Amino acid sequence: MKNPHDQAAAGKTPCIKSEGPCPRIPSTISGQMAHRHTLLEIANRLHSARLATYLSASGNDVRAALELYRWNLRLAASFQEILSIAEIVLRNGINDSLRTWNVARQVLWAQALTSAFPHRHGDPDGTILADRVGRLHALRNRVSHMEPLLEVNISARHTDVLHVVGSISPEARDWCAGTSRVKQVARTDPRLSAGSSEP
């Protein structure tokens, strides 16, 4: 009987019993088992509580859930880019306006609103703008905390970003739109290839 270690060194499957040929596990099956083990290990490391939303959206398919989780990371990263632009433009626009206020705060909000957002149209009291900023603030928190974006209306939030930035500076809006990868990433949603409707 040959030494099992010699067989292993020769690239053969070692066999403990001497009678008959040593049974071999088909490579496709062993590969699938190893892949399954890897997926479960990754899922365990991410924790079931974090993956619960993705598993639910993927019919408890671990592979599909991890792919959806990875897509969510890409979507969050793409939103983070343009949200950062919007936040800086918004903050600077408001700061520039506040510098014109006197100590007694006799300047009315409407005047400050016009000064900070000179390209705001069809929104005299700033209600629509405030709603947009509120939605973007909520989205920013979700992105920053790495929460699922599966139920986010991607197109609407992308529009909110461009409208807020555009109300301050059309040039900054156009630059932001050219920078954005949000729509490109949205088209790679794994749920679309599975036959689900676009979020």
Find all residues with CB under 8 Å of 48, minimum gap 6, and list them. 55
Euclidean distance between CA atoms 168 and 192, whole angstroms: 35
- Contacts by 124-129 with C-beta closer than 8 Å and gap 24+? 129/163, 129/164, 129/167
**Residue 56 domain-assigned?**
no
Question: Number of helices (H) and strands (E), helices first, in the chain?
Answer: 10, 0
Structure tokens at 51: 């993956």
**Residue 9 domain-assigned?**
no
pLDDT at 116: 82
Q: Tens of pLDDT along 91-112?
A: 887 776 656 555 445 455 666 6
What radius of gyration do the chain's Cα atoms show?
27
- Given a cut of 90, whether residue 196 has pLDDT beyond it is no
Least confident of 14-18, 136-140, 194-198: 14-18
**Residue 13 domain-assigned?**
no
**Residue 34 domain-assigned?**
no
Provide the domain limits for residue 89. Answer: 71-193
User: Which pTM does this prediction carry?
Assistant: 0.63
Confidence of residue 31 (pLDDT cuts 50, 70, 90): very low
* Short-list 85, 83, 84, 198, CA closest to 152: 198
**Helix segments in 99-149, DSSP class H:** 109-116, 127-144
Please give the share of the chain, as a percent, with pLDDT higher than 90.
31
**Helix 62-98 vs helix 27-46: crossing angle, to nearest 10:** 40
Most confident range (mean pLDDT) of 7-11, 37-41, 88-92 is 88-92
3-state secondary structure (DSSP) of residue 111? helix
**Residue 156 domain-assigned?**
yes
Confidence of residue 178 (pLDDT cuts 50, 70, 90): very high
Euclidean distance between CA atoms 24 and 133, whole angstroms: 62
**Residue 84 domain-assigned?**
yes
Q: Tens of pLDDT along 38-87?
A: 878 887 787 778 888 898 888 888 888 889 998 999 999 999 989 989 98
Overall domain count for the chain: 1
Mean predicted confidence (pLDDT) in 179-183: 93
pLDDT at 38: 80
